[in-house]
Amino acid sequence: MRNEDVKNFLTHHRSRLNPEDFGFPVQQRRVKGLRREEVAQLAAVSVSWYTWLEQGRDISISPAALQRIGKVLQLSTTEQDYLEALIFGAKDRPKPGAIPHEVKVMVDALSPHPAFIRRANMDILYWNEAAKAQIFDWSTIAEHDRNSLKLMFINDDYRQIIHQWDQAAQHTLAAFRTYYAASNYAEEFERVIKDLAERSEAFNAMWHRQDVSKFGTGNKAIIDRQGKIHHYTYSALEVESAPGLFLIFYLCRASESK
């Protein structure tokens, strides 16, 4: 599946480029963007080598060559990191285990601020009372659907509490894709992808956009039962003693917390 991801990512990003910006004519082109041979020329690699790279073949790749290709495709730092993770593989990391007891105690102690624990594939594992009251009560849904990305697309109750859903869904999906590339345990992500592909047309349409982003910090707007919008900042912190588990902490904006 990663070979297909490499192909889709590279073809998507070269299709966004304007050949005229690189001095190439735009006439007699069957598809948008740069051709493979043009990317190869600009990146100083052979056409056959670049073609094999797009096809996901098992070839020898140097970081320097991949950096040159990323520069031609005008990739952001996050997009370049994603491509390198797809091709070179993730760092060797142990599979996440059980949540340490002290981490659960810390999540509970963070009330009245919402906090919860999730895996890199967005599975929700544990939450405090403030998260249940202010964000979402994950105990009301089946355990196999307790996943932030799934909830975005297949749970109407969850979707209704997310202000500016389309933007939030795109960001969550882009972060999921980044985590997926960096993980040693692709099957945990592919299980989510397969389930969503079968259950959500909106997911299928958005998945092919090839967006990637980091999830470290950001803003979230939640709509309560009375229709009032509450604005939070959030931080995602990886648990050092349990790599692959993340503590997500929400802080209500000062103007709303008074």
- How many angstroms separate the Cα of 100 from the Cα of each of 107, 111, 123, 226, 230? 11, 18, 16, 36, 31
Angle, alpha carbons 143-162-164 (nearest 5°): 145
Residue 39, C-beta contacts closer than 8 angstroms, at least 6 positions apart = 14, 50, 69, 72, 73
Assess contact for 211 and 173: CB atoms under 8 A: yes
Residue 258 has pLDDT above 50, yes or no: no
Question: Domains in the chain and their CATH numbers?
Answer: 2-88 (1.10.260.40), 101-257 (3.30.450.180)
- Provide the pLDDT for residue 256: 60
Distance CA 162, CA 171 (A): 12
Check pLDDT > 80 for residue 90.
no
- How confident is the model over 219-235, as pLDDT tens digits? 999 999 899 999 999 99
In angstroms, rounded to a whole number, what is the distance separating the alpha carbons of residues 86 and 88?
6
Report pLDDT digits (tens) over 7-48: 889 999 999 999 999 999 888 888 889 999 999 999 999 999
Percent of the chain scoring above 70 in pLDDT: 94
Q: What angle do CA 181, 186, 187 make, to 5 degrees?
A: 160
Backbone dihedral region for residue 5 (phi beyond 0: left; psi -120 to 50: alpha; all else: beta)? alpha
Express each pLDDT in 103-160 by its tens digit. Answer: 999 999 999 999 999 999 999 999 999 999 999 999 999 999 999 999 999 999 999 9
| String of DSSP letters for 71-89 | HHTT--HHHHHHHHHHHH-
The answer to whether 181 and 175 have CB atoms below 8 angstroms apart is no
Tokens 């670049």 sit on residue? 50
Cα–Cα distances in angstroms (integers) from residue 67 to residues 35, 42, 62, 80, 232, in the given order: 18, 12, 9, 8, 36
Distances 17 to 34, 37, 65, 66, 244 between C-alpha atoms, Å: 6, 14, 19, 18, 35
Q: What is the residue type of 70?
A: G
